[in-house]
Amino acid sequence: MSELLSPSLLMIVVASVAAMLLLRPRVFRAPLWRAMVTPFASIIGSGFLVAAPILAHVAGNFAWLAMLGLCAAGYLFGAAIRHNILHVEPIHAAHMPISFKALEQFSDLALAFAYFVSVAYYLNLFAAFALRADDIVDPNLIRWFSSGVIVLLGLLGAIRGLRALENLEVVAVGIKLALIAGLLAALSLAGAIALTGGPITLTDISLPVGSKSAGTLLGLLILVQGFETSRYLGASYDGPTRVKTMKYAQWLATGIYIAFILLVTPFFTGNLPAEGGETEIITMLASLGTIVGPLIIFAALASQLSAAVADMNGAGGLLNSVNARLVPVSVGYLLTAIAALAITWTASILEIITYASKAFVLYYGLQSALALLDTLRTKQANYILKATLFAALCMLSLAVLVFAVPAQI
């Protein structure tokens, strides 16, 4: 294969150009982009690197269809949150029904718990990719490594606060999106080379999709989690802006996810290994060139650390607000770290993914119930259709909580 046609070289070129464009201060100052980038980066960052191996293992050639289903579920849950942004948030606290206040408080508690799990999720992935640089896939070493980072962040947050580390997110978002652009370009070229009889070969994974697969898919909603962050940007953006940019974020994320899964699934190398399945994307894409693995690891470290810092900040703030400021934010950081440690040492990464999905879907279910109550109260145009949708989302939340299971190796 000519070096001019190397997928790894194309990935470097495209990623570099994309990074130069995305990291320009002018881009981040654009109001619509700034309102969109938080939910978008969170959706893409939650599971982009683990989505392909798990979905290929669960659904084989239908991985793209499974991904589309997850994105559709996320978009429908987003509809409930968008309703609440426009119709519940504007209700003055003094005039808000008691049932609304209770659901809001329970939602905040559920989201705080979801953040506990997601911090464990992000930092376990951080550790897994960091150790994969040395070809280490030992689950216990991953737990010790992630535990050290969790303790460090918890103490740093309690003593000095984590706000200074939030600047990492700006750079991490640009790096992550640049890598995605490069990967899509490289995968497109690699697929073309394979189809024309080049040295890159593709596999065909025909797997039956049964009830066990359905239960696993229900446990993968964490892959498209992140759109709910728009609900908490009210101090910077008005309701219509947050609704519009949440839609944009989910549309763009869906397009990228489907394109990526379609392009990468044929590179799947077989069943998920008993150890290291969460970093199997590196093995999957080894044929693209030796530089691909290090680039993926670098992007994973930046994005997972920044996401963990953001969620630890969110958990600390939520614990402070739902307890009438009786729990200081610094104590919230420590509680988050303790919970993340407990989760790290009692579950595998694939189990943590399912727990995180259940934790977030509990929040989505409560938000759907809030939207349902408001719809029935106000009886606005098309309220029967909306009420039916929000009721169905409550049922979907219950189904995830009851039937979701981790991917089976």
Of the candidates 258, 228, 241, 254, the residue with the CA atom closest to the CA atom of residue 42: 228
Alpha-carbon distance of 369 to 195, in angstroms, equals: 49
CA 178 to chain centre: 17
Alpha-carbon distance of 161 to 321, in angstroms, equals: 17
- Tell me whether residue 65 is in a domain: yes
DSSP state of 57: H
Task: Provide CB contacts within 8 A for 108, sequence distance 6+.
Answer: 318, 321, 322
Cα distance from N-terminal residue to C-terminal residue, the chain: 35
**Does 147 or 408 have the greater pLDDT score?**
147
| The token pair that represents 315 in the structure block | 């958990």
**Average pLDDT in the 152-165 region?**
77
In this predicted model, what pLDDT tens digit does every residue of 82-122 receive, in sequence order? 999 999 988 876 677 888 888 988 898 888 888 889 889 88
- Tell me whether residue 213 is in a domain: yes
**Average pLDDT in the 274-290 region?**
77
Q: What's the structural domain count of the chain?
A: 1
- Tell me whether residue 133 is in a domain: yes
Split at pLDDT 50, 70, 90, the class of 163 is low
pLDDT of residue 145: 94
pLDDT of residue 274: 66
In this predicted model, what pLDDT tens digit does every residue of 209-257 receive, in sequence order? 555 677 888 888 888 888 888 888 777 788 899 999 999 999 999 999 9
Split at pLDDT 50, 70, 90, the class of 295 is confident
pLDDT of residue 385: 93
- Tell me whether residue 386 is in a domain: yes
- Tell me whether residue 408 is in a domain: no
pLDDT of residue 192: 81
Q: Are 272 and 57 in contact (CB under 8 A)?
A: yes
**At 68, which CATH number?**
1.20.1740.10
**How many C-beta neighbours within 10 Å does residue 286 have?**
13
Q: Using the CB atoms, write b or e for 319-348: b if 16+ within 10 Å.
A: bbebeeeebebbbbbbbbbebbbebbeebb
**Average pLDDT in the 48-77 region?**
86
pLDDT of residue 162: 66
**Does 20 or 163 have the greater pLDDT score?**
20
Tell me the whole-structure pTM to 2 decimals: 0.86
Query: What residue numbers bound the domain in which 220 lies?
Result: 3-403
DSSP per residue, 350-377: HHHHHHHHHHHHHHHHHHHHHHHHHHHH
| The token pair that represents 298 in the structure block | 């670098």
- Tell me whether residue 409 is in a domain: no
Q: 374 pLDDT exceeds 80?
A: yes
Q: 292 pLDDT exceeds 70?
A: yes
Could you tell me where the beta strands, DSSP code E, fall in 56-109?
none
